[in-house]
Chain A
Amino acid sequence: MFLDFEKQVAEFEGKIEELRHISGDGDTNIATEITKLQIKAERQLKTIYEKLSPWQKVQVARHPNRPHFKEVIKSLFSDFINLAGDRSYGEDKAINAGLARFRNQSVMIIGTEKGNTTQERLETNFGMAMPEGYRKAKRLMEMADRFNLPILTFIDTAGAYPGIGAEERGQAEAIARSIETSLSVNVPIVAVILGEGGSGGAVALATADKVLMLEHSIYSVISPEGCASILWRSSENATNAANALRLTAQDLYSLNIIDSIIKEPLGAAHRDHQTTMTTLGDAIESSLKDLLSNRTKNFRENRRKKFIAMTDNKLI
């Protein structure tokens, strides 16, 4: 699937496909032509991705082939033991969590999951968690605290689910408790924004010592469409809203809200999952090492100080 600003790349790749189809073995002319086209396509991709507009980044961050949390689990963790349920109402598949081993370090991992197939997307509510999901996260963060396990969270959600049941079962309270617990545990927390970091539903899992963002991910107080329909009174102004909200990883880094940006491969994460996973793993390892090397182990106190100082005018 090509995004509309990738039209030229799509044309090159279409031609390459065509040539491959008609070429026989050892047809050197066609092979040379294909190589030329591949170079052109890559160059084009590089040019496009070097200067993506905020609205284009929104589309990349939402790309259906972007690696999801379950792929992160498979690629970066061994011995994953899925833990289910909030112990009071239900199990929310929009948030996956459990015990795992990360490069020889035992950890607790928690992340939102959008799903790949239609069935999965329905089961996970397209990655929009219910209060039960946040309450499971709270339960498992507390467990991690008891067993001295670092917590790694992965965020890719448009936001918490807006529905009747979700409201009646206290969506707001569940998010608030998840933030509260994140600020109470005394183990290191590293959060990674994989794709979309949508509002309260995202910060519920991203109140962390280190917040990392993939290069083309976004993190925002409201979706550009939602913002446009309220402030511009028309969702057609989503492009303007995306510009104004300053929601790209680069913006957040310059505002001192996040700690680092994880580089994505040429043409973004959805084109090369394997490279993305390796870079992601290395970034997490280095953040975790950094935190664990702190001898005072005052993770809770430092985290609170970090958030109190955040958005201080002197820093932005």
Chain B
Amino acid sequence: MNWITNSVLPKIKALVQPREVPENFWTKCPGCGEMIFHRQLEDNLQVCTSCGYHFKLNAKARLKSLFDKDTLTLIELEKQLNSDPLKFRDIKKYSDRLREARTRTSQDDAIVIAEGELNGLEMVAAVFSFEFMGGSMGIAVGNAILKAAELAVSKKAPLIIFPSSGGARMQEGILSLMQLPRTVIATQMVKEAGLPLIVVLTNPTTGGVTASFAMLGDIHIAEPGAIIGFAGQRVITETIREKLPEGFQCAEHLLDHGMVDMVVSRLQIKEKLSSILSILMIPQINK
């Protein structure tokens, strides 16, 4: 699988600073209804300062919150020759949707990968961008996850994936469905190299993403309140014609049903990852 290694040409990019926001910008918290100062949210990783509600956090802010200062290197993703292989068109052309998303997010697709250190331990991270077409997984995302796995193996570093995705990208039809087996292969590469795969499930993680790599981690951490599941709630309601139970498909509900190891506040995730990795990566018994 050398093609991935060969194509890894890490280019060091300065981390984009969070953009300036007007000082008078306030957000109403869906959790407690309080008006929170935008700047306050930004300083608190988009977690409500009064009730702990987790807003969505963009990929770059997420990476910045995880890596030790000045250790983060963004990995350039290989450009696809043709990012709209099916010439898909619904009420809008897929190529137009892609262009808009690229302009809006300054990202090529719905995922960012990076390497660096977390409390001094080397790691590779792959972070989804929900703001890029709902974090949907098409060929580019599949390729990125394979590349992240290859990089983790070559660096002998753990791979940590932060999905936030509605599932497979419909506009790539069957090609997006094939990313399920492809990303499962990525998990196998990491595990077979004896390295940890940790999945941090963030809101929302559903569909083809959950039904592939996201449920195959050695350890599953979920952010509070994150919706995690296979089928969408509307599809379930239409099928069973019953009301869904309170808290259905929420992180806490998944914890109760044995699907995740722990629910951890975003503010504590770095420390939690650090404790886990220090045990997994520095074992006491030498083989």
Contacts and interface: CB of A to CB of B under 8 A. Distances in A.
Q: Quick one: which of B168, B180, B188 has the most chain A CB within 10 A?
A: B180
Contact of B174 (A177, A179, A240, A257): A257
Contacts of B239: 161-163
Interface stretch (A29-37, A104-112, A243-251, A289-297): A243-251
A311 B178 contact: yes
Interface in A161-188: 161-164, 166-173, 175-177, 179-180, 182-184
A256 to B, nearest CB: 10
B212 A179 contact: yes
B111 to A, nearest CB: 15
A11 to B, nearest CB: 36
B257 interface: yes
Interface residues of A, number: 55
A240 B91 CA distance: 10
A160 interface: yes
A132 B182 CA distance: 24
Contacts of B210: 172-173, 176
B1 A180 contact: no
A255 B180 contact: no
B175 A244 contact: no
Main secondary structure of the interface of A (DSSP, over half): helix
A45 interface: no
B184 A170 contact: no
Given A176-B184, A247-B173, A167 B231 contact: yes
A176 B216 contact: yes
B182 A227 contact: no
Interface residues of B, number: 57
Interface string B28-69: 000000000000000000000000000000000000000000
Interface string B223-241: 0000001111001100110
Contacts of A176: 180, 184, 210-216
A134 to B, nearest CB: 10
A237 B91 CA distance: 10
Contact of A184 (B86, B172, B188): B188
A219 B180 CA distance: 14
Contact of B230 (A160, A221, A310): A160
B16 interface: no
B208 A180 contact: no
Contact of A307 (B181, B208, B215): B181
Contacts of B214: 172, 176
Interface string B160-196: 0000000010111111111111101101100000000
B142 interface: yes
A207 interface: yes
Interface stretch (B77-85, B120-128, B263-271): B77-85
A56 interface: no
Interface string A214-254: 00000111100011001111000100110011110001100
Q: Quick one: which of B81, B210, B258 has the most chain A CB within 10 A?
A: B210
A308 B146 contact: yes
A173 B236 CA distance: 17
Nearest to B239: A162
A163 B89 CA distance: 31
B26 interface: no
B249 interface: yes
A55 B230 CA distance: 26
A160 B230 CA distance: 9
Contacts of A161: 239
Contacts of B174: 219-221, 245-247, 251-252, 255, 257
Given A183-B188, A221-B168, A311 B91 contact: no
B89 to A, nearest CB: 6
A200 to B, nearest CB: 4
B281 to A, nearest CB: 23
Given A172-B230, A314-B81, A179 B236 contact: no
A311 to B, nearest CB: 5
A172 B170 contact: no
A294 B143 CA distance: 29
Given A175-B211, A179-B184, A227-B170, A310 B216 contact: no
22 contacts: A164-B248, A167-B249, A168-B253, A170-B259, A176-B211, A176-B212, A207-B184, A220-B173, A221-B173, A221-B174, A221-B208, A222-B170, A231-B90, A232-B90, A233-B91, A240-B90, A244-B86, A252-B174, A255-B85, A257-B175, A311-B175, A311-B182
Instruction: Identify the 9 closest CB pairs spanning chains A and B, nearest first.
Output: A162-B231, A172-B210, A231-B90, A172-B230, A173-B215, A313-B81, A200-B211, A175-B211, A221-B177
Interface of A: 160-164, 166-173, 175-177, 179-180, 182-184, 199-200, 203-204, 207, 219-222, 226-227, 230-233, 237, 240-241, 244-247, 251-252, 255, 257, 304, 307-308, 310-311, 313-314, 316
